[in-house]
Structure 1
Amino acid sequence: MIEQAKNSATATTVDFNEAIHLPLSELAAQSKHVFVTGAGGFLGKAICRLLRLANIKVTGFARGNYPELSQMGVTMEQGDITDLSRVKEAMQSCDLVFHVAAKAGVWGSKDDYFKPNVQGTENVIKACKELTISRLVYTSTPSVTFSGVDEAGIDESTPYANNFLNFYGESKAVAEQVVLAASRDSFDKTKLKTVALRPHLIWGPNDPHLVPRVLERARAGKLKLVGKQDKLVDTIFVDNAAYAHILAAIELSKSNSQCIGKAYFISNDQPITMAAMLNNILSCVELPPVTKRVPSAVAYAVGTALEWLYKLMNKKQEPIMTRFVAKQLSTCHYFDISAAKRDFGYTPLISIEDGMKQLKASLNR
């Protein structure tokens, strides 16, 4: 049985394809050729799929080869986001950009994250300006505000973190500020309009990150909860995240757009305990619920020690625990998404419960 989320606002699932039809038609009337960085990623593919449902011409940019996107009708361009000339070449004739590409993770050097996430973003902005592309939707992250303490129903007035526990969050905070500043550049003759969206814990069928990691650790007997108290977290079903990006792009095109130069939290608007979320995933493949716990102080101490040891040994693989992960798993993270509802009409279309049904079906094929 699916464990129910503790709703801050009850999510009602509707027919997704029916609900998305009108927004996609509106976007198709505004955009003839869309560029998607990170097209081969989980969210990037979901955005590409929606765009192709509307028969919008899509060019996807990624480092790897993704035949499934080509079969979808996406024109794929391979390249590195840190190569400005390659980015600009691939963006020719586009009129809207979804910049989804980023290096995610919790381990690595500063250059590992700042080159793709900051320099790469600067390249996308430069290419937009040189090619007179007027709209850019940037995929950010709530990690830009996270400093290791509870985030209970925070909104966009919350400042960027003063102390980041990894280079991912820090690099995304810098990149987000670069994106938002680009739309306020009084010397920018192209009048680039930008918006940043902050989805938290994206999941769903074919998720290559959260779901397989949870299942792998559960099957190995290594999945544990951190802390004595279950804290609420926000998540977002992948199609809801893609839908929010479509709505933001539509709003950017309006002469009286409410979202230009702003950042927005987006979620399923259903805060749920981490234990409940993990157990929902486990129940999809009939694995027993997670019950083992580790004190938060112990997890943090282990993460600190492992980080020190891995740096000393110059190990590239991610430690099983880090300070960031320990804090993430022992604090609450749920957000007030009123601004996204108000400014570009976002409400989640697929509830956690129905999203889990889709996940279960995909895992048991």
Structure 2
Amino acid sequence: MKVLVTGGSGFLGQEICRRLSARGVVTSSLGRRPSTTLERMGVRQHLGDLADTAAVSRAVAGCDAVVHNAALAGVSGPPRPYWATNVVGTRHVIEQCRAHGVRTLVHTSTASVVFRPGGLEGVTEDLPFALHHLAAYPATKARAEALVLAAHGPELATVSLRPHIIWGPGDPHFVPALAHAVRAGRLLMPGDGDNLVDTTHVRTAAHAHLLALDRLRQSPAVGGRAYFIGQGDPRPLREITRRFLRAAGIGARWCAVPPRLATAAATVSDTFLRVAGSPRTHALSRFLVAELLHPHYFDLTAARRDLGFEPPIGFEAGLAELTPLALPTPDHSKDTPCRKPTKPSAPS
């Protein structure tokens, strides 16, 4: 079996490639930069951009299945780059799968496609996409997922997975962002952090992708659907951030920013970035503040029933795998009490 993983050099992509290679699957990757990690795995690397039809065609040719994991992720930024990668790129992947006779396509979506202010508590996949997305990332990922599911049929079986907040050893995004947001032993965050949030260990997310590949090949009837993926262990955001920071070797006190102030600051930031034409994808935004303020966890029944999904590692065991980050040690002797700030310092 030959499988292409788009975005194979990324955090989740590498884990998917690692698991495929361990099975003896002939694995290749499409990405914009070469990866020494993939080279050591023996993964063939195609260099190119999803917006380049010819590059996608070369990578897809000869494959039996594609895991479309590549995407532009972020909480802010103008729509055009997101559209080019997440929508146009996905359209190219689908077209080339059809052109080269690929029978199986697994798409990495995100639970954020259904996120709306007020939060999500134990929702199922029956919940429709949000009518209004607060950022270009979830908006374009929703459009990409719709394309993938609409493409499902006898000649190309497709499925879309929705992991949420992926973390684990080597995480280059979530935990480092939290660590860098700590100032003088304080973590300024909107709200009190009591909102329940589920997360996804990188091994859990990769495991789900391989399950989806297997089930689509065995029974295409499970295709044409989206599935929430997570640990199935929602916890208060305040606890999650504290535990992650502690595992990274950082102590910090949660300092609550009033929700209205945080939302107002995010609105000002969104407006300024839009007027300035800023390309920043990880700036303070209404989307970020809304996700930090509200609950978001999901019913995993469909994935368990149709894919045979169960997280291969629990939250506590995953925490034990994390190691301290190579960051300056905070000087807690200079800690000051939490005071009402002018704007929140959130993961970015």
Same fold (TM over 0.5): yes
State the shift of 1:285 in Å. 3.2
State the shift of 1:73 in Å. 0.7
Q: Which residue number in structure 1 is paired with residue 250 of structure 2?
A: 287
Tell me the number of residue pairs that the alignment of Structure 1 and Structure 2 aligns.
327
Identity level (%): 38
Contact kept in structure 1, 2:186 and 2:252, CA below 8 Å: no
Contact kept in structure 1, 2:125 and 2:228, CA below 8 Å: yes
Contact kept in structure 1, 2:4 and 2:30, CA below 8 Å: yes
Structure 2 residue matching 1:81: 3-state secondary structure: coil
Counterparts of 2:41 and 2:258, CA distance in 1 = 47
Structure 2 residue matching 1:161: 3-state secondary structure: coil
Q: Which residue number in structure 1 is paired with residue 272 of structure 2?
A: 309
Partner deviation per Cα, 1:252-273 (whole Å, 9 max, x = no partner): 012x444210000000010011
Change in Cα spacing, 1:223 to 1:119, as seen in structure 2 (3 Å) is same
State the shift of 1:289 in Å. 3.6
User: Is 1:54 matched with 2:23?
Assistant: yes
Structure 2 spans left out of the alignment, 5+ residues: 328-348
Higher mean C-alpha displacement, 116-125 vs 310-319? 310-319
User: Is 1:245 matched with 2:214?
Assistant: no
Q: Which residue number in structure 1 is paired with residue 338 of structure 2?
A: none
Q: Which residue number in structure 1 is paired with residue 57 of structure 2?
A: 88
Question: 2:302 corresponds to which letter in structure 1?
Answer: A
* CA RMSD, Structure 1 to Structure 2 (Å): 1.6
Counterparts of 1:229 and 1:204, CA distance in 2 = 21
Q: Which residue number in structure 1 is paired with residue 168 of structure 2?
A: 204
Counterparts of 2:273 and 2:73, CA distance in 1 = 19
Counterparts of 1:228 and 1:236, CA distance in 2 = 22
Q: Which residue number in structure 1 is paired with residue 228 of structure 2?
A: 265
User: Is 1:355 matched with 2:318?
Assistant: yes
Change in Cα spacing, 1:319 to 1:86, as seen in structure 2 (3 Å) is closer
Counterparts of 1:114 and 1:281, CA distance in 2 = 32
Contact kept in structure 1, 2:248 and 2:322, CA below 8 Å: no
Structure 2 residue matching 1:136: 3-state secondary structure: strand
What is the aligned counterpart of 2:198 among 201, 212, 234?
234
Structure 1 spans left out of the alignment, 5+ residues: 1-31, 185-189
Change in Cα spacing, 1:220 to 1:47, as seen in structure 2 (3 Å) is farther
State the shift of 1:80 in Å. 0.3
Contact kept in structure 2, 1:36 and 1:60, CA below 8 Å: yes
State the shift of 1:111 in Å. 1.0
Q: Which residue number in structure 2 is paired with residue 75 of structure 1?
A: 44
Counterparts of 1:197 and 1:283, CA distance in 2 = 30
State the shift of 1:59 in Å. 0.8
What is the aligned counterpart of 1:333 among 296, 308, 311?
296
Q: Which residue number in structure 2 is paired with residue 183 of structure 1?
A: 152
Contact kept in structure 1, 2:248 and 2:325, CA below 8 Å: no
Higher mean C-alpha displacement, 283-292 vs 126-135? 283-292
Counterparts of 2:307 and 2:257, CA distance in 1 = 41
What is the aligned counterpart of 1:45 among 7, 11, 14?
14
Alignment map for 1:155-166 (pairs within 5 Å): 155-166=124-135
Contact kept in structure 1, 2:51 and 2:92, CA below 8 Å: yes
State the shift of 1:317 in Å. 2.8
Following TM superposition, the consecutive aligned residue runs of length 4 or more in structure 1 with deviations greater than 4 angstroms are 219-222, 361-364
Counterparts of 1:224 and 1:88, CA distance in 2 = 46
Question: 2:203 corresponds to which letter in structure 1?
Answer: D
Question: 1:274 corresponds to which letter in structure 2?
Answer: L
Contact kept in structure 1, 2:157 and 2:224, CA below 8 Å: yes
Structure 1 residue matching 2:158: 3-state secondary structure: strand
What is the aligned counterpart of 1:192 among 143, 156, 169?
156
Contact kept in structure 2, 1:40 and 1:62, CA below 8 Å: yes
What is the aligned counterpart of 1:122 among 79, 88, 91?
91
Contact kept in structure 2, 1:106 and 1:324, CA below 8 Å: yes
State the shift of 1:319 in Å. 6.3
Question: 1:218 corresponds to which letter in structure 2?
Answer: V
Contact kept in structure 2, 1:299 and 1:321, CA below 8 Å: no
State the shift of 1:141 in Å. 0.4
Change in Cα spacing, 1:46 to 1:141, as seen in structure 2 (3 Å) is same
Counterparts of 1:293 and 1:73, CA distance in 2 = 47
Counterparts of 2:110 and 2:248, CA distance in 1 = 29
Q: Which residue number in structure 2 is paired with residue 12 of structure 1?
A: none
Contact kept in structure 2, 1:252 and 1:260, CA below 8 Å: yes
Question: 1:203 corresponds to which letter in structure 2?
Answer: W
Contact kept in structure 1, 2:103 and 2:155, CA below 8 Å: yes
Question: 2:102 corresponds to which letter in structure 1?
Answer: I
TM-score, scaled relative to structure 1: 0.86
Partner deviation per Cα, 1:83-114 (whole Å, 9 max, x = no partner): 11111111121101000000000122211111
Counterparts of 2:7 and 2:217, CA distance in 1 = 22
